[in-house]
Amino acid sequence: MKFRWIILLAALVFQGCASTGQSADQRRQSIEQMRANTLNKLYKEKPYAADSIERAAGYAVFSNANVNLLIASAGGGYGVVHSNSGAVTYMKMGEVGVGLGLGAKDYRLVFVFHTKAAMDRFINDGWAFGGQMDAAAKAQEKGDAIGGELTVDSITIYQLTETGLALQATIKGTKFWRDDSLN
């Protein structure tokens, strides 16, 4: 019975990340707006991030929705990689994990690629494995979330929670891949 609930919640998460009948140009514009809003929020919270992104080989911004129900979690989203040489790659993401937790959240990820090789690996391979511990109780500008900042393999990752109510400790795998319908 629990497994059915997990499947149902995962389906709802991924359905929310699917296109809503918009044209490819409208979806690109929506992703670029999300990118700009997320960067503005990041720069407000961590002003030093602007200089880091400017000096980097490139950066990526993703919007992700995640659901955690007792022992399993699932999520999905979309985003864009901007090379500081001008190339743009639109991407999708999906994640699954195991661990303890309960809740759902909508959050943004910002990846800063300190080398071109790290950015190319991300675009072409797109796998990420790791652990996540967080707590979130946030709606619009009210409440708070404990997120983080991590640097690994020449990539700095920032997490900014938009909304959600979640408490979780999970081990998860995340796959990022090119969105063929937008590139």
The structural domains of the chain, with segments of one domain joined by +, span 2-15+25-178
What pLDDT score does 104 carry?
77
In this prediction, residue 85 carries a pLDDT of 92
CA–CA separation, 72 and 178 (whole Å): 26
pLDDT of 135 > 60? The answer is no
**Cα 176 to Cα 76: distance, rounded to the nearest angstrom:** 10
167 or 136: which leads in pLDDT: 167
Strands (E), the chain: 58-83, 88-113, 127-139, 142-146, 149-152, 155-178
Distance of CA 150 to CAs 16, 24, 85, 157, 165, Å?
A: 27, 33, 24, 5, 22
Is the pLDDT at 15 greater than 50, yes or no? no
Q: How many residues does the chain have?
A: 183
Put simply, whether the predicted model's pTM sits higher than 0.85 gets the answer no
